[in-house]
Amino acid sequence: MITIKEMADMIGVSTTTVSNVIHGKTGEVSQKTVEKIQKMLDDYDYVPNMNARNLAQNESKIIGVALKSRKDKYENMIKDPFMGEVIGAIERSVRAKGYFMMIYISNEIDEIVQYISSWNVDGLVLIGMIHDDCLKVKHKCKKPMILIDSYSSKETTTYSNVGLEDAKGALEMTRYLIQNGHTRIAFLSDNCEGVDYERFSGYQMALQEAGIKYAEDDFILLRPGELEESLKEIYELSANYTAYFCISDYYAALVINYLKDRGKKIPEDISVVGFDDNFYGQLVRPALTTVHQNPSEKGELAVDILIEVIQKKVEEGSRILLPTHLVIRDSVKIIK
């Protein structure tokens, strides 16, 4: 491949002039010279050597994204509407800032650490990390990093995190159900960790402030690997409750369809609400009452903060909780 120096010698200009034209900095270059250089670039099919340029500037221009999945829940984690929107927003934002994105997904944190510790990246976005996962990453990877939706150990408070007012959103939704006459409300989730625990806590707080006693049976565990059996149990237990609060719109849609297929009327026989406000809740009928969040904002904000940390404009440690709000549709019955 022809080099910048060879082109400069052939045209009779400096290597700086050729480099400026290659990178779009033509403000101080005559139009005639720009055209000559551009023609030579086209004739020789010149492709800039980004690796050499980044090496010279001591940066890779790559942002690594690591997602910890759950083998019992996801065959393809990107199919999840929330995760797909977050990843899409991260990629758009990374590209807009002149960086590239690398991504690795695994349900084993040790495997994630093994791979990403070998990456030559300028920074890392970590998603799905719980307990001490991010501490393991930090131990091996000394790059700037930001977490999305992390509710990990207190030792992670020095790391930047973009999260959501999960507990507040669940609190407001449970209050809404109670205000509409519901006192027998079950909480449906496939775990009680991280984000799910925060939402469960909000649900419990609303019951407590309303003087409604919570029983352990009111937490109904969904088993992703045995989903049909879980839905059957939910159907059988539905006579004990007037409302189901599902941890996500995905589960709410599954519950609504399963109950309706077996003769239950929603919300006449039982109300169902969700959390996320994605297309599942918008497509299911009756349209789902849910808690709105903006996954794209999470992804974009995470990239913004990470780039500022990389460029040493801010220190690591930002803790941001984005707001939620209720979206009232048709899946809740008013009990008088």
Assign residue 176 the CATH number of its domain: 3.40.50.2300
Cβ contacts of residue 4 below 8 Å, gap of 6+? 15, 18, 19, 22
Nearest to 106 by CA among 92, 123, 124, 126: 126
pLDDT band at 152 (very low <50, low <70, confident <90, very high): low
Q: Please report whether residue 35 resides in a domain.
A: yes
Domain that holds residue 15: 4-48
Please give the tally of structural domains in the chain. Answer: 3
Same domain, 170 and 142: no
Same domain, 178 and 126: no
CATH for 9: 1.10.260.40
Nearest to 3 by CA among 44, 58, 64, 51: 44
Q: CA-to-CA distance for 12 and 18, rounded, in angstroms?
A: 10
Q: Compute the Cα dihedral for 201, 224, 245, 273 and give only its sign.
A: positive
The model's pLDDT over 93-126, given as tens digits with 9 standing for 90+, comes to 999 999 999 999 998 889 999 888 888 899 999 9
Position with higher pLDDT, 150 vs 304: 304
Scored b (16 or more CB within 10 A) or e, 206-232 reads bbeeeebeeeeebebebeeeeeeebbe
Helix or strand run (H / E) with residue 4: helix 4-11
Q: Compute the Cα dihedral for 141, 147, 151, 155 and give only its sign.
A: positive
Q: CA-to-CA distance for 92 and 73, rounded, in angstroms?
A: 27
Give the total residue count for the chain: 336
pLDDT band at 78 (very low <50, low <70, confident <90, very high): confident
The model's pLDDT over 255-275, given as tens digits with 9 standing for 90+, comes to 999 999 999 999 999 999 999
pLDDT band at 288 (very low <50, low <70, confident <90, very high): very high
Radius of gyration of the chain (CA): 26
Same domain, 71 and 181: no
Same domain, 124 and 204: no
pLDDT band at 314 (very low <50, low <70, confident <90, very high): confident
> Would strands 145-148 and 185-189 be described as parallel, antiparallel, or unpaired?
unpaired
Same domain, 269 and 307: no
Inform me whether the pLDDT recorded for 178 exceeds 90: yes
pTM of the complete model: 0.81
